Amino acid sequence: MLFAISVTVVSSTAELALTRAKGLAIGVAYGLSWGLQRAVDADFHEIAFAVPLMAVVMRQLYLRRWNRAAWWSLPLLLVKEDMGLTVAAVGVLLLFNRRWQSGALLVSGGVAAVSLTVYRIIPWFAVDHHYAYFSNLPGGSATHAHIGSMLLGLIWPAVKWRTLGWIFGLTGLLCLRSPLVLMAVPTLAWRFSSDNTAYWGTAWHYNAVLMPVVFLAAVDAVVRMDKARWEWARSYARQAAPLMVGVAVAISVGMSLTLSELADPATYPSGPQVAALRAADRLIPDGASVETGNPQLAALASRCTVFWPGGDPVGPQYITLDLSWWSPGMTPVAYAEMAHRGTVYQQIFNEQQVVVLRRVS
């Protein structure tokens, strides 16, 4: 639903800037873009809230409605800790357009929000009162971060260049013609400067928030290039909408994303393993504390107190393991009693690599 809202924003903005047909075409290309499709395939993540907000912010920036862009960017601070850097980027664009007061407030407020969140708010809730993701920095912590490694990490290894090619190539590189593409810099910077290789590529949900940026930057670029002095540039801009649709479909199919998997029966799993997962869920009573991972975490969260593995310092009443998704490398009981010292667990279910443990003391 959140992604669908963003599609309407991107499509209507493109229609306003170009024509209705081109607006619909760009909306289709955006909706089928691999960044959104990867996020759909990866299940729900809080970044889904940032996608429609980013689409609206980009719309206001394109329309040069600076105050509206500033106000719409503020809810991004409630989505995820790195979004403060994106808010600061909005402020930078406002400063470039001589909106000195609002721009300065967004830059300082965005940076302050990031600092407050990672140094105070998240550590206050954490078991060890520490922001765990500092360990992803080169050096293993914020105080021992290797600045040189972080700077080198912005451009190396080569997988990062490939990711940039997939991101900007979606629009036939048109988005690079617009200054609005600078809104992608904060997200790419924190991802590429990290030691976590999962952030560098095209998997999971990490690129979803960049899709509104590159598509609406491309719309801005088409308008700019339509007034260019060179005929080749004007001709390229006129073909941009069908080009983006073709590229989006080709990449999505080539990556075996949700688009191409809709007709595959394996996309809708059933059978013994799924039946075992559901049977395991039924063993957990309402209100119990349970430690689990994907995919059972989402299924149990509505009726139990659910912890990601290692998140309950006392020791949950139940632990469920899907060994086909993640195996601890030892017996389930040994893992549970090692992870929660001083507790004793009994295995009460084991079918199709799905295990349920109950704390007995």
State residue 126's pLDDT score: 79
Q: Which two tokens stand for residue 276?
A: 């075992």
pLDDT at 28 (0 to 100): 87
DSSP 361: -
Q: Give yes or no: residues 31 and 79 share one domain.
A: yes
Q: SS3 for 291?
A: strand
Indicate if the pLDDT at residue 145 is higher than 60: no
Determine how many CB atoms are found less than 10 A away from the CB of residue 250. 12
Residue for token pair 């965005």: 110
Q: Are residues 253 and 288 in the same domain?
A: no
* pLDDT value, residue 183: 93
Range with lowest mean pLDDT among 7-16, 150-159, 345-354: 150-159
- Whether 6 shows a pLDDT value over 90: the answer reads yes
For the record, the structure tokens of 321 come out as: 């393991």
**112 and 65 within one domain:** yes
Task: Pick 46 or 251 by higher pLDDT.
Answer: 46
Q: Is the pLDDT of residue 96 over 80?
A: yes
Identify the domain boundary among 261, 286, 311: 261
**Residue 266 domain-assigned?**
no
- In the numeric block, the tokens 């960049």 are attached to 210
CB burial of residue 233 (10 Å; 0-12, 13-18, 19+): middle
For the chain, what is the domain count? Answer: 2
What pLDDT does 261 receive? 61
pLDDT surpasses 80 at 127: no
* pLDDT for res 4: 94
Q: For 30-53, what is the mean pLDDT?
A: 87
Residue 267 lies in a domain: no
The answer to whether residue 38 is domain-embedded is yes
Predicted local confidence at residue 258, as pLDDT = 54
Q: How many residues does the chain have?
A: 361
Q: Please tell me the predicted confidence (pLDDT) of residue 65.
A: 92
- Look at residue 265 and tell me whether its pLDDT is greater than 80: no
Residue 164 sits in the same domain as residue 233:
yes
Chosen domain end from 210, 235, 261 = 261
Residue range 201-238, pLDDT digits in tens? 878 888 999 999 999 998 988 888 777 677 777 777 77
73 plus 147 within the same structural domain = yes
Helix (H, G, I), strand (E, B) or coil at 354: strand
- The verdict on 325 and 237 lying in the same domain is no
User: Contact at 8 Å (CB) between 22 and 237?
Assistant: no
Domain with 137, as residue range(s), is 2-261
The reported pTM is 0.76
In angstroms, rounded to a whole number, what is the distance separating the alpha carbons of residues 40 and 252? 12
What share of the chain has pLDDT > 90, as a percent? 34
Q: Is 101's pLDDT higher than 70?
A: yes
- Shared-domain flag, residues 347 and 209: no
**Residues 203 and 333 both lie in one domain:** no
Mean pLDDT on 318-332 = 83
Tokens of 91: 């402020």
Query: Does residue 257 contact residue 55 with C-beta atoms inside 8 Å?
Result: no
Residues 159 and 72 in one domain: yes
Query: Percent of the chain having pLDDT more than 70?
Result: 88
CA distance 258 to 236: 30
In the listed set 261, 290, 317, which residue is the last one of a domain according to the structure?
261
97-101, 126-130, 308-312, 313-317 — which one is most confidently predicted on average? 97-101
Same domain, 203 and 326: no
If you average pLDDT over residues 164-172, what whole number do you get? 84
Which two tokens mark 31?
Answer: 């909706």
Instruction: Let me know: does 339 contact 352? Beta carbons within 8 Å.
Output: no
**Judgement on whether residues 110 and 61 belong to the same structural domain of the protein:** yes
For the segment 255-283, the average pLDDT, to the nearest whole number, is 72
Those residues whose C-beta lies under 8 Å from the C-beta of residue 325, and which sit 6 or more positions away, are 293, 294, 295
| pLDDT for residue 328 | 77
Whether 344 and 218 map to the same domain: the answer is no
